[in-house]
Amino acid sequence: MSPFAFLQKGPLWQIRGNASPAAATIQRAGSPLRGRPGPLPGQPGECVLPMDMSAKVLDLLEQGALPGRSALVACIDLYSAPEAEALRAALFARARAVARACFGRHIFVRGLVEFTNICRKDCYYCGIRRGNARAARYRMSPDHILACCVNGWNLGFRTFVLQGGEDPLFSDDVLAALVARIKAACPESAVTLSVGERSAASYAYLRRAGADRYLLRHETADATLYARLHPADQTFAERVRCLHDLKHAGYQTGAGMMVGLPGQTTEHLAKDLEFLYRLRPEMVGIGPFIPHNDTPLADFQAGSVARTLVMLALARLMLPRALLPATTALGTAAEDGREKGILAGANVLMPNVSPRENRKKYMLYNGKLSDGDEAAENMASLRRHIAALGYEIRMDRGDYAAGEGLPQACPRPPKAGA
């Protein structure tokens, strides 16, 4: 029997019968679902959050408060129901308004360099996991990585995201020297690292070498689900430790999660929001899970785009100034995924500045986009598409700007699994 038999197949989420505070109907006059009273179609007997209560959850988030778990669960389910399109549109409009109040119509771009797909970790969802013998491995030299950044700098990029598997050859000294060279060769640029779990000393050292930001998604804030998606030596507690060390080393820190992971329930997603609320990351990457053929999770369904967008919009309400990318996974899951992400409150895009021949090898999941508007060389087309949405591409560093009542410190570490 497959070791993954415990993960239920079929629909990857379900509405929990007793999760909402009250069995509810949608009857409020003037609601976007007016004329369709009763439980949402397709979910007979299940309860959803009454409209005024769901509005209250959004109000609380916008006021900087954390709604209770069951209210969050009901809210996520209400807004991501397939039929709730009008309701979702209203949520997205609200998230956009928050983004516009903080960033105007600016969309920041980051030049992404996927510099190695060699990885010592074995995450069950990921196409470049150590255990995938079919992956064609590559590793770029520091000179080559630097050349990609310089090329990106000439295209106008002022943030470079160095993302890679946990490749042991990229030791602290190799990475620190590389960061210092990029900072020297590309004036006024920010360097973001995304190179996985390291020691507190390593994070501090790389920060001193000039790295400004660090992306390390928490993947899921439920320790049990985390344990099911990773081998025993990869724990949620360790991931949380890393995120706190990153914050304390002074990075603008990015967390984030996949939506629609095998075995993930709405309760898990509510925990993700609670986790983000406590950690207060400066950046949050949210994308749908997409299966990869050569992983143990190959046969599971991809996460829902609608649900991913709802999580993005809720994250925007909760962390108004956070830098939220419209992720490549979102663009892969739906043709207009990135546009939809921006219209749900995202304000960052990460075009690929890696060499063309490597892009196809950085295959985290089936069909991962690496050309078209994902490619830095097609900036003109990207600009046009973004302008057509009513937004403007910004090439400057686009740092996290602290302000009143905004995400900032993390007062105390969230308890692992809490």
Where along the sequence are the contacts to ligand 5AD (CB under 6 A)? 125-126, 217, 219, 258, 287, 289-290, 292, 329, 364-365
Query: What is the closest distance, in whole angstroms, from the C-beta atom of residue 290 to ligand 5AD in the complex?
Result: 4
Q: Which is nearer to ligand 5AD, 145 or 393 (CB)?
A: 145
Q: Give the sheet arrangement for strand 159-164, strand by strand.
A: 111-116, 159-164, 190-194, 213-215, 252-259, 283-288
Query: What is the closest distance, in whole angstroms, from the C-beta atom of residue 365 to ligand 5AD in the complex?
Result: 4
Query: What is the closest distance, in whole angstroms, from the C-beta atom of residue 287 to ligand 5AD in the complex?
Result: 5
Q: Which residues pair with 192 in a beta bridge?
A: 161, 213
The span from the CA of 322 to the CA of 348, in Å, is 10
Name every residue whose Cβ is closer than 8 Å to that of residue 133 and which is 6 or more positions away in sequence: none
Q: Give the sheet arrangement for strand 106-109, strand by strand.
A: 348-349, 106-109, 392-394
Q: Which is nearer to ligand 5AD, 203 or 289 (CB)?
A: 289
Strands (E), 23-110: 106-109
Is the backbone of residue 60 left (phi > 0), alpha (psi -120 to 50) or beta? alpha
- 274, 72 in Cβ contact below 8 A? yes
- 392, 349 in Cβ contact below 8 A? no
- 347, 103 in Cβ contact below 8 A? yes
Q: Which long-range CB contacts under 8 A does 297-302 form with residues at least 24 apart?
A: 297/4, 297/7, 297/124, 297/125, 297/229, 297/262, 299/9, 300/7, 300/9, 300/12, 300/262, 301/9, 301/10, 301/11, 301/12, 301/260, 302/260, 302/333
Query: What is the closest distance, in whole angstroms, from the C-beta atom of residue 397 to ligand 5AD in the complex?
Result: 22
